[in-house]
Structures are given as structure tokens and as C-alpha cells.
Structure 1
Amino acid sequence: MKIHANGLDIRYEISGSGPWVTLSHSLTCDLTMWDQLAVSLAPTFSVLRYDTRGHGGTTAPEGAYSFAQLTADLIGLLDALKIERTHFVGLSMGGMIGQHFALAQPARLNKLVIANSTSRIPPEAGPLWDERIAIARAQGCAGVVEGTLARWFTPGFRAAGADAVARIATQIRNTPAAGYIGCASAIRALDITAKIGTIAAPTLVIAGADDPGTPPAMSEVIASTIPGARLEIIPSASHLSCIEQPEIFNRLVANFLKG
């Protein structure tokens, strides 16, 4: 389904019944990244999944995006669907959107899950993002597939979970270059560690023990800065911990949201 909000046509899916929980995916993925978690949560929750600006079936404007825009897209979607309050689960870029949402609209957030994410991109990582943006501009997202998969999955899972890895590779390849460049520009500028100490929502922070892109140390910063936040580190998982260790990931999220 699609709905017009904040100047975009936003693709979304709703399943289940109960209190609302909104799921926000990683850079170069789409709402299908959450297939397994959505099935797990649907018996207890109304699950809203959506494609971020520039991804999947959502409009992909040219130019750099900002987290103010990405957060406004989310708020516009919730407004259009008349959702007053929601839990929020975000992974990687989705976790960054979740932190901004918690700061912008605290009265609309119940519980927050931030997975495989960070509150700050250090300056020394800037050239890496510049290089990825240049590749996407020259080759489209097909040019970033192999490098992304190498960061996102452990070698063992790339061998044993080939079908799941292939599905994610297709999502990466199909991401519009404008969407990648726009969102990567927002990520490159991320620096909100000094602000997230005001987040009051109960928060679960999840890290993959073997994640080189957003290593556990970045999750430790988030968990130690947001008052009362709990940190869980999933063993034998890299960046897409919800794909590599779905049973553990889904159990952690479900128990936290129900608790």
C-alpha cells in the first residue's frame, strides 16, 4: 500500500492487531527486511513497516537528505494513518531515525529499540562515506553490493545463509542511487550523542558482536547515554542481526515490548 505524506508517496504494510509498533529498516534495504520480525510480533501488535525515503516503493528525490526530513516522513506517515502512539524498532539507519523521533515527538513514543546503530559518525569515517557515495553516483547501488555484504554478514553466514544473503543483495542492488546518496549524506553528518540523554522512553539497544560497521562500542555509548537503557549483544552476528540471528533478535524485541 502507498499513502502520500510529507510530499512523498510512502509504501507501507500493516499486519496484526494490538498496540502499534513501527519498524524502520537499514540503508539499502526495504520493509521486507522485517518479514520475520513482523510475523513474530503480529499476534500481539499492530505492525507498521514502511520504506524510507529513497528506498523500495517510496519516492526517491534527488539531493542530500537530512534526519529532520527522514523524521518528518515518519511523523507524516503516522499522522496520515492516524497513529497517535507507537513503539519503534529501528536497525542501523532505522535506529538513527528512531533516536531523532524520540527527541522530536517524545509523547508519541512508547518503547524504543535501537539495533546495530550509532548516535555519531566519527570524522575519520567521513571519507569512507564519500567513497561509497561516489561509487553509487558512478555505478548505481550495484557498485556497493559486495562491500556492503562483507560488512553486514559474518563469513560463516554468507556461506550457510546464502538464500537470505541473496535476498538482501537484491534489495541493495535495487535501491535507487538517489535514495542511497540522499540517506548516506544524512548518515555521514550524524552527531546526536550530546542530545540523546534526554530520551525518556524505555530503550533496548541491540548490537551484533561481530559488527564492524557499528561495533558494540557504539551501542555501548547509546546505552550508557539514554537513561535506563539496556544493552544486549548478540553473538555470531554482524550488522543485520535480525537476519543473521532472527530467533535471538525477535525474542529480545518481543520480550522487551511486551514486558
Structure 2
Amino acid sequence: MQVRELRIPPAPRLALDVSGAGPLVLFVHGIGGNRGNWRAQLPAFADAYTAAAMDVRGYGDSDDWDGPLVYADLAHDIARVMDRFHVQRAHLVGLSMGGRIAMQFTKLYPQRLGSLTLVDTHLSFASLPAPEREQFVRTRREPLLAGKTVADIAPVVAAALAGPFATAAVRRQLEDSIRALRRDSYLKFLEATVESDTIGDLGFIDVPTHFVVGECDTLTPPELARRMAAQVRRDDVEVSVIARAGHLSNLENPDEFNRVVRGFLDRQARLERANLST
């Protein structure tokens, strides 16, 4: 199915790839990614949904911005995307940092969410064990502040994220997305990721929620996903563990990822149709 590109004003303009028609499913990438990381997902959803992958501001073809990073602004950007599609509600799928953005959106715009899929993510940097926090800073922010480029750190960061079963092609794709980062914008995101804690307990979530995590994810492991799921005070909370995948589960095992995420969304669609008919 054809993929079309969109640019959404005003500044900072946001770039999206879009395919299909139907309820809007918006995919939000991680801190080392861009919208291209979802290229294996769009065709798998486009037969029944408007599948859209966005470049977060400061990434890919989206604009940079002046000033520090405020996570609330990233949530407002998602609202802008939804307004461009003229929809009141959307289904959000957020990977890692994208999951944190999706959770922030859920806090600020609860009435605009159909469902929430949180992939290989965490509540805040403080929720990670000290060794993981130290490695994150040591392999990313410290080298850049010392004068290295994002191209210099790409192989090290990619190796820390990919699981043991990741193919050479997946590792290349991950390294390429890291090399495409803009140093100054990336540093803003790194600082916000390390220093801010904007989510808190997940008891505020009041929509069907799906936690998806790679079985080999060492940064945000399956047990962390289960602890987060336990904070959501709803019966329709699911946890799926993707076999043979690390922190980039949608890249490392796309067939299994698409199956479980599509299955979750299809179940929500069926329930919504049933509720409308009663």
C-alpha cells in the first residue's frame, strides 16, 4: 500500500509517513530513532487503519526548535498531528522515549486516546537500576560533550540496545538512525531523559493498555513492563513479550511484534463496534 509523506505546520513542522485509511494509529520512535524505524509496521496495519509514523521534533525531517525540551510540548505535538487528521481520538504506539511521550500525552489529553501501546519503555530514568543509568550517560551524553560525533557513538549505542538475535541488517538500520541524529537536539533529549521525571504512577491511565517488550531487552526488561502494567487500574491491560528481541522489538522481530500489536488493536476495534451496536 502506498506511503505518503506529510508536513504539519506551524513551526516546528512535523514530518510523517502515512499509509492506509481507518482509525488513526500513530507510531512514535525512540530517542535514537526516527519515523523510518516503523517501516515494517505501516504496511501491516494499513489495510484497516490510518497507520502514521512521525518524526518527533528535532528528528528526521521534523524541525528543530529553540530552548530546552519540555515533554508537555511533545504531547502537544501529537495533538497537532491528530488535529491534522481531523480525529478526536487515536491509538498511540510509543517505543522507549516514544512511550514516555505517549504517557505524557495520556496525562494531558486523556479524552483523545483510544488505546495505549507502550513498547520497551520506562516511567523515568530514576526507575532504571543504577548500572543502566550510568551506562546510558557514559555511552551517549559524555562522549558528545567531550567532542565526539553521533557517528562516533553509533556502533556502541546500537550494540547496547540490540538483542543477541538481531541480524546484521537490523544493526545497520539502528546504527544508521543514530548517525542521522542532530547533536544539539539529541543532547536536549538526553538531558530531559536523564533529569526529568514527568510521569509518576500509572494509575491515571484509563484506556485499554498494552505493554510490549523484547525478551532480551536489558535496558527495560520484561519484569519492568510487568511492574508498570500492575500500576494501571483496569482489567483490559495486556503484556506481550516478543521472543528473540532486545530493546528494539519492532525492528528485531517485526512479524511477532506486528501480530501481537495488531491483535490488541483489532480486539479494541471489535469491542468498540459491539458497544456502539448495543
Instruction: Name 1:95's counterpart in structure 2.
Output: 99
**1:34 maps to 2:38:** yes
More off after superposition, 175-184 vs 64-73? 64-73
More off after superposition, 170-179 vs 138-147? 138-147
CA deviation vs aligned residue, 1:10-34 (integer Å, no higher than 9, x gap): 1112210111111101112111111
- Code of the residue aligned with 1:214 in structure 2: it is T
- Code of the residue aligned with 2:121 in structure 1: it is S
Whether the 8 Å CA contact 1:61–1:178 is kept in 2: the answer is no
Offset at residue 126 of structure 1 (A): 5.0
Instruction: Name 1:257's counterpart in structure 2.
Output: 265
More off after superposition, 209-218 vs 128-137? 128-137
Distance 1:167 1:126, change over 3 A: closer
Aligned residues: CA RMSD = 1.8
1:64-143 aligned within 5 A: 64-122=68-126, 124=130, 127-131=134-138, 132-137=140-145, 138-143=147-152
TM-score, structure 2 as length reference:
0.85
Offset at residue 192 of structure 1 (A): 4.8
More off after superposition, 247-256 vs 76-85? 76-85
Offset at residue 49 of structure 1 (A): 1.3
Q: Which one of the candidate residues 53, 58, 64 is aligned to 2:62?
A: 58
Unaligned runs of 5+ in 1: none
Q: Which one of the candidate residues 229, 235, 254 is aligned to 1:246?
A: 254
Distance 1:245 1:126, change over 3 A: closer
Whether the 8 Å CA contact 1:63–1:178 is kept in 2: the answer is no
Whether the 8 Å CA contact 1:63–1:181 is kept in 2: the answer is no
- Code of the residue aligned with 1:106 in structure 2: it is P
**DSSP 3-state at the match of 2:213:** strand
Instruction: Name 2:197's counterpart in structure 1.
Output: 191
TM-score, structure 1 as length reference:
0.91
Offset at residue 70 of structure 1 (A): 1.4
- Code of the residue aligned with 2:77 in structure 1: it is D
1:174-253 aligned within 5 A: 174-192=180-198, 194-228=200-234, 229-253=237-261
In structure 2, C-alpha distance between the alignment counterparts of 1:40 and 1:83, rounded to whole Å = 21
Instruction: Name 1:173's counterpart in structure 2.
Output: 179
**1:148 maps to 2:152:** no
Instruction: Name 2:25's counterpart in structure 1.
Output: 21
Please tell me whether Structure 1 or Structure 2 has the larger radius of gyration of its CA atoms. 2
In structure 2, C-alpha distance between the alignment counterparts of 1:136 and 1:82, rounded to whole Å = 40
Instruction: Give the fraction of aligned pairs with identical amino acids, expressed as a percent.
Output: 26
Higher relative contact order (CA 8 A, sep 6+): 1
For these two proteins, the number of residue pairs brought into alignment is: 255
